[in-house]
Each structure stands twice: as structure tokens, then as C-alpha cells.
Amino acid sequence: MSKLCLLAVMALVSSRAATPPTPPEDPNKPKLLFEWHEAAAGAAKGPVSVKIVIDQQKATIYRGGQEIAWTMVALSTTNHPTPTGRFTVKEKKVDKNSNLYGKIDDKDGKVVNNDAKMGADEIPEGGCFDGCQMTFWMRITNDGLGMHIGCAPGSRPRMAVGVATRLYQTHL
């Protein structure tokens, strides 16, 4: 092998060795569910808006057109499609329970249906309906759609606690 070829091979080998391969992402590492950009949120002025991309199940929060946060959200199901359009917050309530979705307990307090819909699912004699908790409720439609923390399947979108608490406290 000529001296020139040997130098070229050494250069190739040393350039590969100088850049270690990127380690594969740890599949056990939890994925971020939200980010709140405190500095941007404090500096931004203007109206707050939320843009939801349904197929990504992601909401991005803006103030005055500047992104201040994002959160993964629980959205549409076949039985409860997420409407599209422009909405404004019509009501805010820190502690709200759904009057439509929840669980049904029997007379002994045992859960007999943990995905119940009031008026559609039977409540056994002596039993009761317990509406899902929807903390930091922000109603956006007259028929009960709202953003919140909680489990109610018909009242989407549900969002991360770290974003919902801050968004609730923001003037919308």
C-alpha cells in the first residue's frame, strides 16, 4: 500500500473515531407532556390563544402571537369527536364535576360502571352517579365542551396539570 493511500485510510479511520455515534434514545425515558416557557409567558403581552392540532393531540398556547407553552392533550374519540373552529372561554371554575360523565356505584359503594354517561347508563337501586372531576374547568362551548384536568371522556380536551393551572390563572 502506498504511503498516500495509508494516510487516506488513517484519516478516514480517525475522522470516524473523532465523532462518537449518537446513542439511541432510552425507550424508558419519559417523554415530555408539556413545556411552559416562564420567561416568554412573563414577557409576552396581548391576548392569549390556544391552537390545537387534533392529529398530534397537542395544544400550543400563545400570548400576543408568541408561543408561551405547549401540552399534549386527550382529544377525540369516535363517540366524542373534538369540534373544530374558534372558541372563547365562556366560564371558568376551579373545582367542577361533570353532570354527564363519571362512574356509577352500587348501594355498597362498589363501582359497577367506571365509564358511565348520565341518562344513558342504568343506576342500580340504591346506587349513585359520581361525576368525573374536571379541575381548572374552562368552558369553550355552550353544550359543555371545555379544557381541564380530569377524566371526563365527553368534555375534551384534557391537558397537563402544569399547563392547565397556569392557563386557568391567565386572563382569557
Q: In the prediction, which pLDDT does 34 show?
A: 85
Q: Cite the DSSP H helix spans in the chain.
A: 3-18, 38-43, 161-169
Q: In the prediction, which pLDDT does 20 show?
A: 62
Fold of 28-169: L,D-transpeptidase catalytic domain-like (2.40.440)
Nearest to 74 by CA among 104, 101, 44, 113: 101
pTM of the model: 0.67
Q: Using an 8 Å Cβ cutoff, are 139 and 156 in contact? A: no
Delimit the domains of the chain by residue range. 28-169
Q: In the prediction, which pLDDT does 129 show?
A: 95
Burial 3-24 (b: 16+ CB within 10 A, else e): eeeeeeeeeeeeeeeeeeeeee
Integer Cα distance of 166 and 41 in angstroms? 10
Q: What is the pLDDT along the chain (172 residues), one digit of tens a residue?
A: 444 333 333 333 444 445 566 667 777 776 778 888 889 988 999 988 888 888 888 889 999 999 999 988 887 667 777 788 888 888 999 999 988 889 999 999 999 998 888 899 999 999 999 998 889 988 888 887 888 887 655 545 577 888 888 888 876 5
In Å, what is the CA distance from 134 to each residue of 55, 67, 98, 158?
Answer: 23, 25, 7, 9
